[in-house]
A and B are shown apart, each in its own frame.
Chain A
C-alpha cells in the first residue's frame, strides 16, 4: 500500500528501504528545468519536500536580509554538513550609482555623496575626496584645516573600530560589549555634532579647507570624552580579550597568510593583522601625519582575533594622535583665501560686486578644476580609500573612481571561509568590516 507524505518520510515503498535512490526525488534537486524569465516556477513536489535530510551538499542562502550579513550581502553557501564546501557572493543590493551621481554634480556637491559611502566614518571619506581634488588643483590648505581634518578623521576611526568590535561581540553573543561600544561611540558623535552639525553625515570638509572651526571649549570637552571612551574601551577589552567563548570563536578562524593578504589586495587593519606593516599614514604621509608620533600595530596570525586586537590597539593610537593634535593646533585660517575655491564671507557677498560674482560662479558653475587626472589615496578605517579623479577643466568631475576600502576584503571572503564551519562565517564577516555603503557604491 503506497502512502506518501509525512509518516513515511517520502520513501518510495516500491524500492527496497535503505537502498540507493530510495526516498530520492525523481531528479536531483537543482537539475529541474528552470522557469523562463518572469514565469512562476513549479512548486516542489510533496516527495521532494518530504525527502529526509541527507548528508550531501545543501545550498543555503544567507542574506540579503540576514541580520549577520548586515542587511545587504547575499552569500550562497554550499554546505556539507556544517562545513562550507563552496561559497559565492551576490552583491549590489545597495548599489545606488555613486560614480554616475557624482559625474552629474559639481565638485562641492559630491561631498554629501561621499558621506554616505562609509556612513560610520564620513569625515575620512570627505578628507579623501577633498585631498584628491586638491591634488588636481595643486592646492595647499592652511595648517589648522589640516589638523581639523586629522582630528575629525581620527575621531571617526575610533567610532568605526568601536562599531566593528561591538557588532562582533553582539553577533557572537556578547550584548554588553555592544552597549558599552555604542555609549562610547555616541559620546564621540555628540562631539562631532558640535563640530560640524551632524552626527553621521558630516560633510565637514570643503575643497580648500573645512567648513567650520571648532567651537570654544570643544577641545577640553573632547579630551574629557576621550577619557571616558578609554575607560569604556578598557571595559570592552576586559570583556572580550580573555573571554573563552570569544577566543574559541575567533582564534584560528578566517585565517589569511601574509602572502595571501597582499595578493588578495587587502589593506588597512586586515592587512596589518596578517603581518604586513603597511599603513599609508606612514608610507606616504598626508596632511600632518608626519608631525605626529604613533605606532602601527601588526598582527601575527592573520585570524579574526588578530584583526580584533589590531583594531583595539588602533583605537588607542588614534587617541594618542588626537591628544597630540590638540597640543599642536594653533589658531588660524580654516580654509584658503582664494575665492576660486572657497565661498567668500557673507558680508563680502552682500557688500561687494566681486564677492557676489565669486559666490554666484561657485554656486552655479562649481569650482573649475584644471583638466587632468590624479589618484589620491588615504588610510581610512578599513584600509586604502582611493579616489581616481579625471577633470575636463569644468565644474563637474568627468570621472570619479572610488576605490572602496572594504572591496577586496569582501571579494576574498569565499577564500577565507572555504573549508571552515558555517558558524565561523559570522566572525569572519564581522572582522573584515564590510560596509555596504562603500563597497556597493
Chain B
C-alpha cells in the first residue's frame, strides 16, 4: 500500500493525528484524537486525492486494564482509487462519547449502534442511538471484558416451574 494517505493525514492534521504506522500486511493505520475524528473523516472523504467514499466497517475494542480503555476502529475504503486506511481512536472510560460519522457515510449507522450496544460508546449526533441486537431493557454491555460469561438476563421474569431434569430449585440459579 502506498504511504500517501498517512503522509497526507500527518501533514494536514499534525495535532489531531497522533501517530501513523504501517500495520501487519502493509495496511495504512493512524491514531486519531477523539474530538477530531469527524473532521479527519470529512477530509478523507472530500479530498479528491483521498476519496474514501465508503466506510465498510466500524467497530470497537475493549482494552481492559489499559488507559484509555476503549478504542473505536474505522476501516475506510475508496472504491475509486482502491486504497484503504484504518483509523484508531482511543476513548477513555470517563468520557464515552465520540462524534458520529453517519453524516459522511450513512452505511456507518448500524456499526455505531452496534458499538453502543456492545461497548456502551455513545456517538454524538447519531440520528438513532439505540441498541441494535439486545433488547432495550438489557443491563450492561456484553462485549466488555468485565461482563460476566455466565448468568441470565431474561426479558420477562422467569416463572418458577418444576424442572423435570434438574429438580426444583431457585429460579435464575445459573
A: contact size bracket: 35 or more
Is the pair A374, B133 in contact by a Cβ cutoff of 8 Å? no
Contacts of A375 in B (CB 8 A): 27, 57, 73, 75, 86
Interface residue A283 (Cβ < 8 Å from any Cβ of B) = yes
Contacts of B96 in A (CB 8 A): none
Q: Which of B5-13, B32-40, B107-115 contacts A (4 or more CB under 8 A)?
A: B107-115
Is the pair B57, A388 in contact by a Cβ cutoff of 8 Å? yes
Is the pair B23, A411 in contact by a Cβ cutoff of 8 Å? no
CA distance A138 to B86 in the complex (A): 19
Is the pair B143, A265 in contact by a Cβ cutoff of 8 Å? no
Can you name the residue of chain A whose Cβ is closest to the Cβ of B73? A388
CA distance A375 to B23 in the complex (A): 9
Is the pair B73, A265 in contact by a Cβ cutoff of 8 Å? no
Contacts of B61 in A (CB 8 A): 373, 390, 398-399, 401
CA distance A89 to B134 in the complex (A): 13
Q: A residues bordering B, Cβ < 8 Å?
A: 37-38, 91-92, 95, 97, 99-100, 104, 135-136, 138, 262-267, 271, 276, 278, 283-284, 372-377, 384, 386, 388, 390, 398-399, 401, 403, 407-408, 410-412, 415, 440-441
Q: A37-B137, A97-B142 are in contact. Are A403 and B79 (CB under 8 A)?
A: no
Can you name the residue of chain B whose Cβ is closest to the Cβ of A386? B57
Is the pair B107, A408 in contact by a Cβ cutoff of 8 Å? yes
Interface residue B106 (Cβ < 8 Å from any Cβ of A) = yes
Can you name the residue of chain B whose Cβ is closest to the Cβ of A387? B57
Is the pair A388, B59 in contact by a Cβ cutoff of 8 Å? yes
CA distance A266 to B106 in the complex (A): 10
- Residues 64-116 (chain B) with a chain A CB within 8 angstroms: 73, 75, 79, 82, 86, 105-111
CA distance A374 to B59 in the complex (A): 13
Can you name the residue of chain A whose Cβ is closest to the Cβ of B156? A38
- 5 contacting pairs across A/B (C-beta < 8 A): A38-B157, A278-B79, A372-B23, A407-B111, A412-B106
CA distance A97 to B143 in the complex (A): 9
Interface residue B56 (Cβ < 8 Å from any Cβ of A) = yes
Interface residue B132 (Cβ < 8 Å from any Cβ of A) = yes
Interface residue B55 (Cβ < 8 Å from any Cβ of A) = yes
Shortest CB distance A63–B (Å): 15
Q: B residues bordering A, Cβ < 8 Å?
A: 23-25, 27, 53-57, 59, 61-62, 73, 75, 79, 82, 86, 105-111, 118, 132-135, 137, 142-143, 149, 156-157
CA distance A138 to B23 in the complex (A): 12
Q: A92-B132, A388-B73 are in contact. Are A372 and B59 (CB under 8 A)?
A: no
Contacts of B24 in A (CB 8 A): 135-136, 138, 372-374
CA distance A401 to B143 in the complex (A): 11
Of A262, A374, A410, most B-chain CB atoms within 10 Å = A262
Shortest CB distance B22–A (Å): 12
Is the pair A267, B109 in contact by a Cβ cutoff of 8 Å? no
CA distance A338 to B37 in the complex (A): 42
Contacting A91 at CB < 8 Å: which of B106, B108, B133?
A: B133
Shortest CB distance A101–B (Å): 10
Is the pair A411, B109 in contact by a Cβ cutoff of 8 Å? yes
A-B residue pairs, 9 tightest by C-beta: A265-B107, A92-B133, A403-B57, A401-B59, A95-B133, A411-B110, A278-B79, A374-B24, A408-B107
Shortest CB distance A110–B (Å): 15
Shortest CB distance A135–B (Å): 5
Shortest CB distance A368–B (Å): 16
CA distance A135 to B27 in the complex (A): 11
Contacts of A440 in B (CB 8 A): 133
Contacts of A373 in B (CB 8 A): 23-24, 61, 73
Contacting B56 at CB < 8 Å: which of A374, A384, A415?
A: A384
CA distance A254 to B27 in the complex (A): 36
Contacting A92 at CB < 8 Å: which of B23, B134, B143?
A: B134
CA distance A138 to B142 in the complex (A): 31
Shortest CB distance B153–A (Å): 12
> Could you list 14 further interchain pairs (A-B, Cβ under 8 angstroms) beyond the known A265-B107, A408-B56?
A92-B133, A92-B134, A99-B143, A100-B142, A263-B53, A372-B23, A375-B86, A386-B56, A386-B75, A388-B73, A403-B57, A411-B109, A412-B107, A440-B133
